């Protein structure tokens, strides 16, 4: 009965929700402003207002041409196609909406001068990315904890489901901490306004495309955060959700047209089965369920075959780069999007910002599954997604098995070796984003059963293997938690709130084991930050033997040797086997212990240790 009730609500809401009143005569125009001199001369404005389509549109400005006026099912919408001449100047002009017998409505539109500050620098394998869930990191401004009139006004740090009050100012206040740790790039979980009735803290059901959530701050504060990062030589990534928006999004509560979202006779969830996208024997019905099914009842699945939807999404992303100076994007739930649209999106973004980078979340099991979504036609995809990089879940499964599994032909560290050996499937594996945890996964310290030795082994691998390392906030101080439910891996960073008994941002507030972990991450991260060999150096790996995995990172100037002993006993490794890479080097420095060791015969590696050596 409960399921039938929800289905009836779904049908009633989404098939009849073309309301014609209860909004202002001119509610909004998005994007609210643009820039002169953009490479793409085309700009599409979405206009929303009560029965706005019955009005005549006029504008006059040198270099701006109104090419087309599009009307859709809902008379509360107009879509205006503008074309901007190459020599158009920054300035303001009025867009008038006239109807006989009534006073004209007018909107002052502005073309701004382009942002000349640092922007779109790209996030590469030279970086170390730190992922923050803003609501759970630090509260720098208590005045925005609760905003009157929003759908969710609860504030309770004892609840995993309610908001805790973390914000952008809290992040700004702790940039020194992040810089000390060796972080070069921030990735924040979505910070667009999420005015949903519940669990709005995670941000993945946004209700605005051009507005920072007021409980985090403002658009201006977001831009300030990016500027502060750039002043420190750091970068900012934005988390984008193409696939869906919250059901309280203004285009959902007043649909422009029925095909703005994917409609079903009754509520239909995605199958989450990525295999149907490349299965040569898959049915069209299964593919449709995968891509057009909804993530959840509160996440409206956008119909990206609708050209107005496509333009709305893409322009908002370009707007944020130009406005705030972003350097890269993370693309949420990438596999569930329309593949053709995502390739079009990649071309549009790269044409405007050639150095901007982006990677997609591909939570899949199987190396070919993952490679399928990446750019190029490396595994007979017969389609180029244009996606530069993905989150390397296969390497995650590999390192987890290496640390927790028993060594065998395909088990233990051999799984990690085999995963890296399959890099031939990618156009550029150095762009893969490697990680040990994120906001949807168990905390890494819990994955390794709170074993500090295994924890250090994983950290050492993360910061020495190929690709772009990404770290989850709090893992450097041994935060624990399993995803049962997800909120347990999204706990507050102690010290980020006034009155916290402990301040983990300070060495004096951390326990001995927490400081040990922090310093371990810091030492390797700072070394990596200063060492091109671990950023862009080539990789050579050797077949694991007896639970020991050896690989090298090297360039013309330096060689680093990494030895991972997954056994519970100490072991010795004959250096002769690795003469191809060791060459004439006779000594090395252990980057963890700072000890000098000889390379003439054998290396002694303690049990459950990943040793990192810089060869002299």
Catalytic residues: 332, 361
CA distance 490 to 202: 9
Quote the crossing angle between the two packed helices 307-324 and 339-352, to the nearest 10°. 30
Calculate the dihedral angle through the C-alpha atoms of 289, 295, 296, 300, rounding to the nearest 10 degrees: -90
Residue 200, judged by CB atoms within 10 A of its CB (0-12, 13-18, 19+), counts as: buried
CA distance 485 to 505: 26
Q: Are 608 and 566 in contact (CB under 8 A)?
A: yes
Q: Are 38 and 86 in contact (CB under 8 A)?
A: no
Neighbours of 524 (CB within 10 A): 24
CA distance 385 to 375: 5
Return the exposure string of 56-81: e unless at least 16 CB atoms fall within 10 Å of the residue's CB, then b: ebeeebebbebeeeeebebbbbbbbe
Q: Are 144 and 68 in contact (CB under 8 A)?
A: no
Which of 421, 420, 365, 370 is CA-nearest to residue 395?
420
Strands 235-240 and 64-71: unpaired
Q: Are 19 and 33 in contact (CB under 8 A)?
A: no
3-state SS class at 57: strand
Q: Are 548 and 565 in contact (CB under 8 A)?
A: yes
3-state SS class at 344: helix
H runs (alpha helix) in 405-511: 413-421, 444-447, 452-462
């Amino acid at each position: 009965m409960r399921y039938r009730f929800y289905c009836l609500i779904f049908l009633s809401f989404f098939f009849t929700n073309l309301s014609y009143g209860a909004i202002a005569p001119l509610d909004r125009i998005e994007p609210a402003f643009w820039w002169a001199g953009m490479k793409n001369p085309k700009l599409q404005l979405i206009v929303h207002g009560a029965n706005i389509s019955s009005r005549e549109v006029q504008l006059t400005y040198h270099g701006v041409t109104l090419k087309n006026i599009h009307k859709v099912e809902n008379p509360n919408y107009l879509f205006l196609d503008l074309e901007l001449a190459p020599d158009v100047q920054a300035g303001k002009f009025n867009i008038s909406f006239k109807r006989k017998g009534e006073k004209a409505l007018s909107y002052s539109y502005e073309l701004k001068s382009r942002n000349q500050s640092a922007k779109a620098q790209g996030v590469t394998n030279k970086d170390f990315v730190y992922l923050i869930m803003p609501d759970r990191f630090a509260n720098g401004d208590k005045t925005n904890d609760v905003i009157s009139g929003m759908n969710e006004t609860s504030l309770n740090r004892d609840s995993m489901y309610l908001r805790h009050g973390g914000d952008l100012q809290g992040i700004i206040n702790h940039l020194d901490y992040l810089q000390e740790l060796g972080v070069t790039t921030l990735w924040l979980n979505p910070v667009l306004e999420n005015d949903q009735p519940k669990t709005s803290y995670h941000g993945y059901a946004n209700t605005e495309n051009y507005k920072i959530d007021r409980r985090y701050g403002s658009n201006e504060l977001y831009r300030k955060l990016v500027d502060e990062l750039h002043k420190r030589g750091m970068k900012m990534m934005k988390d984008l959700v193409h696939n869906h928006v919250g059901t309280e999004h203004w285009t959902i509560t007043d649909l422009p047209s029925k095909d703005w979202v994917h409609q079903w006779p009754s509520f239909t969830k995605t199958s989450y089965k990525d295999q149907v996208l490349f299965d040569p024997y898959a049915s069209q019905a299964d593919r449709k369920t995968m891509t057009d099914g909804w993530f959840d009842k509160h996440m409206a699945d956008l119909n990206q075959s609708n050209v107005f939807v496509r333009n709305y999404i893409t322009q908002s992303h370009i707007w944020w780069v130009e406005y705030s100076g972003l350097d890269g994007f993370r693309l949420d739930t990438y596999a569930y999007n329309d593949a053709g649209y995502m390739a079009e999106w990649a071309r549009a973004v790269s044409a405007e910002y050639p150095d901007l980078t982006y990677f997609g979340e591909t939570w899949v099991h199987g190396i070919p599954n993952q490679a399928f979504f990446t750019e190029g036609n490396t595994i007979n995809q017969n389609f180029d997604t244009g996606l530069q990089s993905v989150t390397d879940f296969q390497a995650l499964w590999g390192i987890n098995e290496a640390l927790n599994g028993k060594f065998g032909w395909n088990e233990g560290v051999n799984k990690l070796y085999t995963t890296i050996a399959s890099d031939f499937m990618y156009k550029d594996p150095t762009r893969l984003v490697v990680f040990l945890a994120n906001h949807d996964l168990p905390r890494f310290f819990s994955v390794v059963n709170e074993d500090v030795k295994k924890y250090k082994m994983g950290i050492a691998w993360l910061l020495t293997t190929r690709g772009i390392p990404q770290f989850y906030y709090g893992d450097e101080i041994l935060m624990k938690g399993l995803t049962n439910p997800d909120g347990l891996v999204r706990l507050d960073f102690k010290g980020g709130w006034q009155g916290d008994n402990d301040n983990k941002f300070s060495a004096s507030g951390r326990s001995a084991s927490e400081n040990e972990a922090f310093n371990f991450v810091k030492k390797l991260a700072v070394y990596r930050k200063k060492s091109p060999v671990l950023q862009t150096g080539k990789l050579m790996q050797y077949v694991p033997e007896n639970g020991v995995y050896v690989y090298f990172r090297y360039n013309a100037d330096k060689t680093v040797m990494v030895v991972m002993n997954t056994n519970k006993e100490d072991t010795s490794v004959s250096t002769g086997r690795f003469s191809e890479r060791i060459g004439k080097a006779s000594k090395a420095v252990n980057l963890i212990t700072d000890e000098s060791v000889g390379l003439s015969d054998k290396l002694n590696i303690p049990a459950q240790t990943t040793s990192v050596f810089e060869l002299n």
